[in-house]
């Protein structure tokens, strides 16, 4: 029963991740039809199109051969997402994220408290996240930001 319950939870998490990943892929595709599809589904993900946004990609710097298998990367990213969830609690930045194979895509959205300017809240979030990674002994993460929208 315990194993069955764990499998059920993993399936739900995988399905949620897949849905968020599809949303982010549509949103960031550059294709008009896919963008419209994403905007139609925006409310399902708590996404506010008129808020300030930034995209961030978290990627493992140089995975070892053992860590570069698809399953190992997914597991590594799942652990990183767990840390993300714990780090986001005290920020004014809302985050929609998806584990997409070798990377984690994050869409950072300002809350009403953060206003349109995400520079300071994102810098604080990244510092907290890097501190969390250092505490967990994860130093092989590369953070990349993409401009404000």
C-beta atoms surrounding 57 within 10 Å: 14
Angstrom distance (rounded) from CA 76 to CA 58: 11
Residue 148 — very low, low, confident or very high, per pLDDT cuts 50/70/90?
A: very low
Q: Cα separations (Å) of 98 from 48, 64, 71, 112? A: 17, 22, 16, 23
Most confident option among 20-29, 48-57, 122-131: 20-29
In Å, how far from its chain's centre is CA 133?
A: 15
Alpha helices in 42-139 (DSSP H): 70-87, 119-136
Task: Round the average pLDDT of the chain to a whole number and report it.
Answer: 76
């Amino acid at each position: 029963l315990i194993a069955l319950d764990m499998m059920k939870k993993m399936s739900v998490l995988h399905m949620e991740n897949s849905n968020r990943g599809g949303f982010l892929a549509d949103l960031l595709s550059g294709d008009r039809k896919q963008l419209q599809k994403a905007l139609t589904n925006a409310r399902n993900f708590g996404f506010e199109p008129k808020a300030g946004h930034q995209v961030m990609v978290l990627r493992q710097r140089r995975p070892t051969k053992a860590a570069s298998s698809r399953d190992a990367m997914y597991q590594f990213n799942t652990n990183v997402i767990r840390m993300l969830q714990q780090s986001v609690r005290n920020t004014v930045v809302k985050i929609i994220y998806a584990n997409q194979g070798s990377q984690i895509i994050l869409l950072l959205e300002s809350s009403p408290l953060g206003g349109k300017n995400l520079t300071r809240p994102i810098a604080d979030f990244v510092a907290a996240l890097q501190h969390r990674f250092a505490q967990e002994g994860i130093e092989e993460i590369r953070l990349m930001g993409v401009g404000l929208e």
